[in-house]
């Protein structure tokens, strides 16, 4: 079953330095097995930054969490607070688009 990892980081870094570090580390995520997509976001009110990771399976997400790349996220961004949440994918709104388009995962067609 596909899985989503949501990570929210509060950091003392200014926005420009935080983004520089995001861009510096970004290419390393291309090589994570089972990672279908990663979305980066920023809360305009608080400055907190999030990463939303879409994995092909819970096993791929679990394997990622044990990597050096995952373990160094808080230190890389000088995190003051980190919140991690894991979700199983239930349904996709658009089954022909997005990170789970080819997974054959059931879609809610009732609206």
Segment 9-35, tens digit of pLDDT: 999 999 899 999 999 999 999 999 999
pLDDT above 70 (res 102): no
Segment 38-87, tens digit of pLDDT: 999 999 999 999 999 999 999 999 999 999 999 999 999 999 999 999 99
pLDDT at residue 111, as a whole number = 46
Average model confidence (pLDDT) for the chain?
88
For residue 52, count CB atoms less than 10 angstroms from its CB and return exposed for 0-12, middle for 13-18, buried for 19 or more. Answer: middle
DSSP symbols for 6-58: EEEEEESS-HHHHHHHHHHHGGGGGG-TTEEEEEEEE-TTT--EEEEEEES-H
pLDDT at residue 99, as a whole number = 77
Position with higher pLDDT, 5 vs 104: 5
pLDDT at residue 4, as a whole number = 96
> Rounded to an integer, what distance in angstroms lies between the CA atom of residue 107 and that of residue 104?
9
């Amino acid at each position: 079953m596909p899985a989503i990892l949501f990570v929210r980081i509060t950091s003392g870094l200014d926005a420009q330095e935080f983004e520089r570090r995001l861009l510096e580390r970004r290419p390393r995520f291309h090589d994570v097995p089972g990672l279908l997509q990663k979305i980066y976001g920023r809360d305009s009110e608080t400055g907190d930054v999030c990463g939303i990771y879409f994995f092909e399976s819970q096993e791929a997400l679990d394997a990622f969490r044990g990597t050096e790349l995952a373990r160094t996220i808080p230190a890389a961004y000088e995190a003051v607070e980190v919140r991690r949440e894991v979700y199983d994918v239930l349904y996709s709104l658009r089954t022909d688009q997005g990170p789970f388009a080819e997974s054959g995962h059931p879609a809610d067609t009732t609206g």
